[in-house]
Amino acid sequence: MKVGIIQIYSEENKEENLRKALEYSEKVISEGAELLLLPELFNFHSSKGIREDYIKNAEDDNGLTIRELLKLAKKNNVIFIAGSIAEKADETLYNTSYVISKDGILGKYRKIHLFKYEDIDESKIFSPGKDPIVVDCLGTKIGLTICFDLRFPEIFRIEALMGAEILINVAAFLEKTGRAHWMPLLRARAIENQVFLLAANQSYHEGAQRRYYGHSCIIDPWGRCLARANEKEGFLIADIDIGMVENIRSKMPLLKLMAFDIKKR
């Protein structure tokens, strides 16, 4: 399977963000990618984290962003892990990642763990999701997570037990925390669940109020980094062999050896 990861910096100009995302998607598709990833909140990102800004730019399943990606998916027969967008469902606002194919929306994941660090508190903007998800596409089971979920290994393990062979993390991971924790956490989640870990992060932007780390990457089930971006906008592509997951799990069957009956003392 050929995977393409798009790393962009999103601002408050939704039209420009979407144009840029579509432009990079076309480039990645031209390189032969079958599965494309975009970062968290790729179509709109409020610089001050104001809920009202997200409400104004929120979409539902039939919104402009989903429609535009669906057009590309149909035209090129590819799968999008559509980063995440602000999703409005009735009066509730979620941070939601969509899986889009030529046949429509295959599934969506609403971010469960809402980020809190220093003056940032996503719980003042979004409501948390409740359910992990694993989607069948391209003959592979793919589990979704968003950014801060990365610090909670339980959701990754649950999705691995649900059959995931690829785990996704779409992110707006800050530069400060990213330098210390981004790669160690990604490698750990790949190694402990024996999966391919695909991570799409927002890029670094000089002068921005919030600076992101970039370094989107593809990690194999042994913890090796197959491809890694720098901090700038761009994309990366790699071929992954899903057969590697079963090969490693057969040699070291971690998921089968879990001691489920451990009790807290």
pLDDT digits (tens, 9 = 90+) for 201-233: 999 988 777 899 999 999 999 999 999 999 999
262: in domain = no
The verdict on residue 191 lying in a domain is: yes
- Which structural domain, as residue segments, surrounds residue 102? 2-255
Per-residue confidence (pLDDT) for residue 210, from 0 to 100: 83
231 CB-contact burial (10 Å; exposed 0-12 / middle 13-18 / buried 19+)? buried
Secondary structure (DSSP) of 44-79: ---TT--HHHHHHH-B-TTSHHHHHHHHHHHHHT-E
Total domain count, the chain:
1
68, part of any domain = yes
Q: Distance (Å, rounded) from C-alpha 36 to C-alpha 209?
A: 28
User: For residue 110, what pLDDT band results from cuts at 50, 70 and 90?
Assistant: very high
Is 212 within 8 Å of 202 (Cβ atoms)? yes
CA distances 84 to 37, 162, 171, Å, are 10, 22, 8
pLDDT band at 183 (very low <50, low <70, confident <90, very high): very high
Which of 184, 191, 188, 186 is closest to 249 using CA atoms?
Answer: 191
User: Helix (H, G, I), strand (E, B), or coil: what is residue 137?
Assistant: strand
CATH number, residue 105:
3.60.110.10
Average pLDDT over residues 107-132: 96
- Exposed/middle/buried for residue 41 (C-beta within 10 Å: 0-12, 13-18, 19+): buried
The percentage of residues in the chain with a pLDDT greater than 90, rounded to a whole number, is 91
263, part of any domain:
no
- pLDDT of 112 strictly over 80: yes
pLDDT at 188 over 80: yes
Model's pTM, two decimal places? 0.96
Considering the domain boundaries, does residue 245 fall inside one? yes
Residue 130 placed within a domain: yes
Asked if residue 260 is part of any domain, the answer here is no
Q: Mean pLDDT throughout 103-123? A: 96
The per-residue pLDDT for range 25-72, each reduced to its tens digit, is 999 999 999 999 999 999 999 988 899 999 999 999 999 999 999 999
Q: Which residues pair with 202 in a beta bridge?
A: none
- Whether pLDDT at 261 is above 80: no
What's the rounded mean pLDDT across residues 167-179?
97
User: So what's the pLDDT on residue 98?
Assistant: 98
Asked if the structure places residue 261 within a domain, the reply is no
Rounded average pLDDT over 238-249: 97
pLDDT band at 264 (very low <50, low <70, confident <90, very high): low
Q: List the one residue out of 173, 110, 127 whose CA is nearest residue 147.
A: 173
Catalytic residues: 40, 111, 147
**Is the pLDDT reported for residue 242 higher than 90?**
yes
Looking at residue 60, its amino acid is: D
pLDDT score recorded for residue 47: 82
Mean pLDDT, the chain, integer: 96
Between CA 38 and CA 61 the distance in angstroms is 17
Q: How far apart are CA 84 and CA 65, in angstroms?
A: 10
Predicted pLDDT of residue 209: 76
Residue 48, burial from CB neighbour count under 10 angstroms (0-12, 13-18, 19+): exposed
